[in-house]
Every structure is written in structure tokens, then in C-alpha cells.
Amino acid sequence: MKNAHRPGCRFRQALISVQIGMLVALVPSTSFAKDDTPIADAFAIGFDVAVLRTLGSIKLAVGMVAMIPTTILYTLKMPFDDSPGALEEVTEVLIVEPANYVFRRPLGEDLSGN
């Protein structure tokens, strides 16, 4: 009966050996890695990705939905209005600024004071 469990034990031993080998192989690469960003910058980047970009995406989606009635109302009042750049200003505020904030701004830029 003891020999019936022997192949399973060898597989388990081999699996543990491979896992230990992988851990040992990873230790030097992480200990010698250059730390280009301090912890505060890493936190700023993480907060930017997790919170600020998510909120910016929500703002962009709301702006895109708000542009539908805005465009309809602008089209209806266009014959009576003298301000030709009003729709461009609204488009800038509702769509272009949030899109630039989410997609073009470097990571962590607002939190680091830049």
C-alpha cells in the first residue's frame, strides 16, 4: 500500500521543487532592480489609474450623453443666435477636456504638482 502513494509524492515533491526554484530565480531580479520612482510617485500613479482616470472616464461618458440634447438645442436656436462658437466651447468642456484628462495626460501628473 505504501508504494501506491509513492508516484503522487514524487509529483508533489517535483512541484514544490519547481516552485522553490522559481522563487529563488526571482529574488535576484527584484533585489537588483533600479528604483526609478519613489514610493510616493508609485502611490500617485496607482491612485491616478484606480480613481482619477475612472472618474474622468465617467465624466467623459456623461459629457457624451449630454452632447445629444445640447446639439439638438443648438441646432434649433442656430437661426436666431449670433454666437457661432458656442457649440465648440461646449464640445471642448464636455468631451475634449475629459478625453485629454483620461487618455493624454501622463500618469500621476496632477498628484505630483505638475
**Domain shared by 68 and 51, yes or no:** yes
Look at the pTM and tell me if it is higher than 0.85: no
**Domain shared by 17 and 48, yes or no:** no
Q: Which amino acid is at 44?
A: A
Query: Could you report the per-residue pLDDT of 37-47, keeping only the tens digit for each?
Result: 566 677 888 88
**Domain shared by 65 and 89, yes or no:** yes
Query: Could you report the per-residue pLDDT of 46-76, keeping only the tens digit for each?
Result: 888 888 889 999 999 999 999 999 999 988 8
29: containing domain: 1-33
**Domain shared by 47 and 81, yes or no:** yes
- The number of domains in the chain is 2
